């Protein structure tokens, strides 16, 4: 009955049109604007929206996202088919790239206007139950709230965008491996000096599978060309994660996993599998003590809206700590594996791994 009630609650909040993402050029003059690049393996429908169907082709776009004024950090408001730029995130402009070469040329143009040390790219891979617009709005929100520099890229893989679409999304995450590999390789070939890949929830499984795929064909590529990997609330089985990492000549460093014991979605995910936990809710990280990974436990925080499933993205207090610590995009990609330890908390060294239990500012 408990699981049934949870699913009924999920279905009630998913009745609106999640695929709607109208372009409103007037929004450019209302909010704060963030340029984001999108790689997607969703099929573009006749009306120009990107729905849930899977495409074998990687499509590349540039979007201008208008972030509404007077917004609280960590919040995203989506007006869907009737957005209000005064309170909602809005797609204000869109440009399509006809080829990988034109996408790479656009990134090179951006890099030419910045110092070589600033030629950074953050690639975000969204999780389960996301629409195309969700992916674009999330990377814009993270870029704004964490003041990330460089280019922001998101991979919009074909999630159903419905709470009851978990199995569809699981299949889509495997389907989308090739597209993500192509996107990562294209970003690297554009001349970026630093590439940080950030994944959330089921997107972490997709990222690990894509990196494993790359590693099998090009041993050492990921550690040589990715400046950092960050997994937020990874919805991944611990044994599967161990198998994925076993093929790597060397893991990209730093490699950071944000977890929470209060993540209700991961509790549900584990329960449906008759498991006790997922990678993003591990109670004992010592089983990975041999790997050079920073485990960051943010159980002391809450996101207030999403069952604590994306605390690092939605918690205003944790965002403030991340922003005030050594800047996320700079300290992580600088190769400082203890960068996450700049956050307040209790630190424990486990051979090659590090565990940090983060506490709110002023706590112990």
CB neighbours of residue 311 within 10 Å: 28
Domain ranges of the chain: 2-358
Q: What is the pLDDT of residue 13?
A: 39
Q: What is the pLDDT of residue 255?
A: 92
Q: What is the pLDDT of residue 333?
A: 40
- How does 122-156 read in b/e, with b if 16+ C-beta sit within 10 Å? bbbbbbbbbbbbbbbbbbbbbbbbbebbbbbbbbb
- DSSP, collapsed to helix, strand or coil, labels residue 251 as coil
Q: What is the pLDDT of residue 137?
A: 93
Q: What is the pLDDT of residue 9?
A: 38
CATH 3.40.50.1820 fits 2-358, yes or no: yes
Rounded distance, CA 202 to CA 210, Å? 13
Residuewise pLDDT in 10s, the chain (364 residues): 344 334 433 433 344 456 778 899 999 999 899 999 999 999 999 988 999 999 999 999 999 999 999 888 878 888 788 889 999 999 999 999 999 999 999 999 988 877 655 688 989 999 999 999 999 999 998 888 888 778 999 999 999 988 888 999 999 999 999 999 999 999 999 988 889 899 999 999 999 999 999 999 999 999 999 988 999 889 999 999 999 999 998 999 889 898 888 788 888 888 888 889 899 888 889 999 999 999 988 887 776 666 766 656 554 444 454 544 434 444 444 444 444 446 667 888 889 988 888 777 655 4
Strands of the 32-44 sheet, one edge to the other: 90-97, 50-67, 32-44, 151-156, 120-125, 194-200, 228-232, 255-259, 294-297, 353-358, 345-350
Rounded distance, CA 229 to CA 64, Å? 25
- CA dihedral (352, 232, 180, 242) in degrees, to 10, reads 40
Token representation of residue 226: 């990715």
> Is the model's pTM score more than 0.85?
yes
Task: Give 260-319 as a DSSP string.
Answer: -TT-HHHHHHHHHTT-S--GGG-S-GGGGTTS--EEEE-TT---SSSTTSSHHHH-HHHH
């Amino acid at each position: 009955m408990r699981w049934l009630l949870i699913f009924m609650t999920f279905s009630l909040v998913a009745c609106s049109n999640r695929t709607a993402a109208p372009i409103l050029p007037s929004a450019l003059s209302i909010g704060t604007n963030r340029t984001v690049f999108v790689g997607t393996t969703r099929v573009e429908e006749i009306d120009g929206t990107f729905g849930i169907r899977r495409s074998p082709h990687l499509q590349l776009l540039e979007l201008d996202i208008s972030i509404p004024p007077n917004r609280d950090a960590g919040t995203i408001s989506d007006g869907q088919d009737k957005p209000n730029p005064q309170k909602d995130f809005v797609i204000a402009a869109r440009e399509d790239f006809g080829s990988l070469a034109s996408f790479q040329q656009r990134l090179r143009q951006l890099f030419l206007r910045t110092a070589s040390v600033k030629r950074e790219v953050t690639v975000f891979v969204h999780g389960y139950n996301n629409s195309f617009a969700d992916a674009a709005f999330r990377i814009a929100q993270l870029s704004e709230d964490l003041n990330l520099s460089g280019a922001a890229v998101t991979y919009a893989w074909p999630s159903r965008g419905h709470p009851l679409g978990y199995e569809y999304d699981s299949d889509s995450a495997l389907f989308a491996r090739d597209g993500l590999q192509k996107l990562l390789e294209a970003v690297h070939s554009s001349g970026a000096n630093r590439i940080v890949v950030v994944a959330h929830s089921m997107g972490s499984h997709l990222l690990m599978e894509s990196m494993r795929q790359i590693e099998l064909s090009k041993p050492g590529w990921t550690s040589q060309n990715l400046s950092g990997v960050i997994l937020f609330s990874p919805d991944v089985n611990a044994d599967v994660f161990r198998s994925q990492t076993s093929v790597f000549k060397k893991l990209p460093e730093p490699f950071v996993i944000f977890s929470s014991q209060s993540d209700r979605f991961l509790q549900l995910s584990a329960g449906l599998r008759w498991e006790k936990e997922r990678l993003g809710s591990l109670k004992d990280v010592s089983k990975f003590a041999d790997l050079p990974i920073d485990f960051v436990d943010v159980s002391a925080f809450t996101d207030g809206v999403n069952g604590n499933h994306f605390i690092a993205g939605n918690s205003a207090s944790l965002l403030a700590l991340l922003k005030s610590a050594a800047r996320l995009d700079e300290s992580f990609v600088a190769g400082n594996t203890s960068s996450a330890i700049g956050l307040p908390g209790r630190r424990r060294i486990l051979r090659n791994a590090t565990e940090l239990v983060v506490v709110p500012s002023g706590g112990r």
